[in-house]
Amino acid sequence: MVAPFFLSLHKLNIMKLQMLKSVVDGNQVHKKNTIVEVKDDIARHYLAVGIAIEYKDPIVKEHKQEIETKENKAPRKRRTKKK
């Protein structure tokens, strides 16, 4: 009875992967070019062997800060010498 209690405390990490090759894992079939969610330990194995790559959601992409270029800058006021 002790094992189920500890299993409930163990946090399961799930990763999203894009499959590069088709894989049969027990009863599951992961086809090529599909996005699957697998446990963390299996995902690390797939990444190490080269079967899959980590999938990043396109919505979650980090926004790069725009670099201010000369064309985007507002023109400065010209200073003239006083006579």
Within-domain flag for 3? no
Domain that holds residue 49: 12-57
Sort 51 into a burial class: Cβ within 10 Å, 0-12 / 13-18 / 19+: middle
- Contact between residue 43 and residue 17 where contact means Cβ atoms under 8 Å apart: yes
- How much is the average pLDDT of 32-45? 91
Instruction: Determine how many CB atoms are found less than 10 A away from the CB of residue 38.
Output: 20
pLDDT at 61 (0 to 100): 56
- How much is the average pLDDT of 9-19? 79
Domains in the chain, number: 1
Pick from 18-27, 29-38, 73-82: least confident: 73-82
Within-domain flag for 77? no
Give me the chain's average pLDDT, please.
78
Per the model's pLDDT, the better-predicted residue between 63 and 48 turns out to be 48
Within-domain flag for 65? no
- Beta pairing partners, 30: 23
- Using CA atoms, how far apart are residues 59 and 46, in angstroms rounded to an integer? 24
pLDDT at 1 (0 to 100): 45
Q: Is 39 helix (H, G, I), strand (E, B) or coil?
A: strand
pLDDT in tens, 55-64: 887 765 566 7
Global pTM value: 0.55
